[in-house]
Chains A and B, each alone.
Chain A
Amino acid sequence: MDVLTLSRIQFGATIAFHYIYPPLSIGLGIMLVLMEGAWLKTGNNLYHQMARFWTKVFALTFAIGVATGIVMEFEFGTNWATYSRFVGDVFGSALAAEGIFAFFLESGFLAVLLFGWDKVSRKMHFFSTCMVALGAHFSAVWIIVANSWMQTPAGYHIVGEGMHARAEITDFWQLVFNSSMLDRLFHTICGAWCAGSFLVVSVSAWYLLKGKNIEFARKSLKVGLTVALVSTLLQAVTGHKSAQGLEKNQPAKLAAFEGLYETTSNAPLVLLGWPDEKNEKVIGISAPGMLSFLTHNDFHTPVIGLNEFKPEDRPPVTPSFLFFHAMVGIGFTLIAVAVLGFLYFRKGTLHERRWLLWILVFSVLGPQLANQLGWFAAEVGRQPWIVYGLMRTPAGLSAVVKANVVLSSLILFTLIYSLLFAVFIYLLNDKIQHGPDDADLLPSGKLALPTKN
């Protein structure tokens, strides 16, 4: 295999593996804030026990997230040096902001969140938990700024020519609020909340099925299902907004997602299908006019098809189409699961419906899959560009790195990541089987002091 293919596989694989963890940190971060906040408000020590238990899970995901995150930062330079030179000036401010506002905040207060339980007051600890969650969200902001700039560049001009051309910043705020950034940010964050809340839901449903830690599981389900319901519904809204943005900013990508070749008014929305690239059509069930309606709020406005673009400017249709549709399908299934779970929980009969509990146990996989597929769709749909309309992916490669070298690092990381994933699952399972600590029902140290209200 050539150095381009190997570098793409390596970057795709390392970032996909990394992306198992940040959504959990963001999502669990919110869950921890809600649980600890509920404890401070109600004084019910069950919430304290919940916060302590989920903090341990949070610590595990956070450690692997940090360890695998450094790899991404290095790989821009190691494998994509030409791209790094091209975007360095533009990404500079976003990266600086990410490091200074997000990473330091997160890792600094993490110390208090994990190890400060007995050393600081309740309010100080709660403040630290909020700061960790805030830091996790901030890091999403700046990463999405950078990635959205690659999708919809703004606030820059090109300086220099050929090998030495690079994008230089002209307007910081235009660059930050480039046209796809806000929609994609909300969509990503909702996806992260889904990942965190469904993990809590899944583990709690498991406890109910096994008949252990019942009270703990009920309270966790209450918080988990509420967040799951809100974030899956918001996810549909933000997804819709993102797709509307695509039609304006990256029509080729939207056309590939829908397998739409001819520009048509009354364009159909494919509900279930498979793209046939040879005959330039989609085999499956579609709803006529719905794509026009969803993108333009009108059945008759035409939607641009792939044939408007030269073949070398089109993204690969089949993978874009499949990743996108699988993500949407999972997204709507999760809404149904969250609604059902929430309704039966409110009725107080959830624990009797074992089939639903089993679905909830497995629901944890849904957001993980959808998050991965969503990013695959977003990044494959951007092809053949590494920076949309400005730089093609092969042009971004490092000039001096050889294929055999990339192959060896790819093998190295495949081995390390397989080991890490196995250990992660093993330890996560260990924590879940062990369950919450009864000792955590009684706060100790300074936390035992009542708050002054």
Chain B
Amino acid sequence: MHLDLNTIWFILVGVLLTGYAVLDGFDLGIGALHLFTNKDEERRVMLNSIGPVWDGNEVWLVTGGGALFAAFPNVYATAFSGFYLALMLLLAALIFRAVAIEFRSKRPERWWRQMWDVSFSVGSIVSSLLIGTALGNIAWGVPVDANGEFAGTFLGLLRPYPLLVGVTTVALFMMHGAIYGVLKTEGELHDKLRVWAMRCIIFFVICAVTLTMATLLYVPHMAARVRENPWLFGVALANMLAIANIPREFHHGNDGRAFLSSCATIVTLMALFALNIFPNMIYSLPNPENSLTIYNAASSPKTLGIMLVIACIGVPVVIAYTVCIYWIFRGKVKLDRMSY
């Protein structure tokens, strides 16, 4: 692999989307678990565990989308116009989820809170499902014509394999969120979350095993890639070790380490995905010659270069203050006047 500007930007877009999955992953997961408790106070604690950070987490998606538009405009244009309805549903889900967090605790009425609780939870689950399904479609391949335009239909995107990736994503985020919740809560809710986290881990492991089998059996171009590059097997192994380490650490009460393992699981999964599709960004099936790659879909080297300068100046600063902010809000959630 030659490290040119196109490859660097492939990696950077990957880093942004992985950052999104790791960070927003836990607050989407908290959303998916939100309705499991029906005590108002516990729901408030769950919301406030992500309160100060969910907004910043979502910016990773915005910036990832922006970077895709900027670095690979053809991929952005083809994928976004091709996945039109799916993306509109994703937008609706993300909007409901975001405003529900803000609106929910503004009024004391039961129906009001119930309405926004359901919006928050359903919005979170649907967002995770759609994001996963989109990745699943990219992995499986979608029909692309000679002009680089999407040539399929909306229903054609809802095939079993992409949907399996979608469900796995929901399971992954639920597990990730539950472990995060364990870290941020105390008392009765903490104990409940421990039980849910264990169940989520089991749910995720079943999904992950099924997905691995399905990939090896039904997605020949991905299996072939691993066969040609045996070192990829090492990444897959790292991924499996990360997954196996989650219940182990959790069982020993090292919740922080379990959370880190969960992060590592997401990172290795994204790395596997990226290494398997590289250098394609949209794999064309049944006509692989129409695939959009990091070369035929990219912006000019000049733009990629300027953006790299911007990223090199900006990203370290962003990471520095993001770490500071997580540090300020460390520890267990305590409800106060400013809480949701």
Q: Are A401's CB and B325's CB within 8 A? A: no
- Rounded to whole angstroms, the CA-CA distance of A118 and B81 in the bound complex is 46
Determine chain B's interface SS by DSSP, over half rule: helix
Does A119 touch B at the CB level, under 8 Å? Answer: yes
Does B79 touch A at the CB level, under 8 Å? Answer: yes
Q: Are B88's CB and A412's CB within 8 A? A: yes
Q: Are B81's CB and A96's CB within 8 A? A: no
Q: Are B70's CB and A95's CB within 8 A? A: yes
Does A308 touch B at the CB level, under 8 Å? Answer: no
Within 8 A of B (CB), among A132-182: 159, 163, 166, 168-170, 172
Shortest A350–chain B CB gap in Å is 32
Shortest A49–chain B CB gap in Å is 13
Q: Are B59's CB and A103's CB within 8 A? A: yes
Q: Which residues of A contact B338 (CB under 8 A)?
A: 114-115, 117-118
Q: Which residues of B contact A79 (CB under 8 A)?
A: 81
Q: Which of A88, A91, A115, A437 contacts B77 (CB 8 A)?
A: A88
- Rounded to whole angstroms, the CA-CA distance of A77 and B72 in the bound complex is 12
- Rounded to whole angstroms, the CA-CA distance of A101 and B59 in the bound complex is 11
Shortest A30–chain B CB gap in Å is 20
| A103-B62, A116-B328, A416-B95 given; A85·B74 CB < 8 A | yes
Does B322 touch A at the CB level, under 8 Å? Answer: yes
Task: Identify the closest chain A residue to B65 (Cβ).
Answer: A73
What 1/0 flags go to A59-95 for Cβ under 8 Å of B? 1100110111111011011110110110111111101
| A70-B91, A163-B147 given; A420·B99 CB < 8 A | yes
Q: Are A78's CB and B66's CB within 8 A? A: no
Task: Identify the closest chain B residue to A437 (Cβ).
Answer: B337
Q: Are A168's CB and B300's CB within 8 A? A: yes
Q: Are B65's CB and A93's CB within 8 A? A: no
Task: Identify the closest chain A residue to B315 (Cβ).
Answer: A100
Q: Are B84's CB and A401's CB within 8 A? A: yes
Within 8 A of A (CB), among B191-220: none
Q: Are B55's CB and A92's CB within 8 A? A: no
Output the residue of B102, B304, B318 with the most chain A CB within 10 A: B102
Q: Are A68's CB and B59's CB within 8 A? A: no
Does A439 touch B at the CB level, under 8 Å? Answer: yes
Give residues in A with beta carbon < 8 Å to B: 59-60, 63-64, 66-71, 73-74, 76-79, 81-82, 84-85, 87-93, 95-101, 103-105, 107-112, 114-120, 159, 163, 166, 168-170, 172, 398-401, 405, 408-409, 412-413, 416, 420, 423, 427, 430, 437, 439
Cβ-closest 8 pairs across A and B: A88-B73, A77-B80, A92-B70, A100-B314, A99-B63, A111-B52, A398-B81, A81-B77
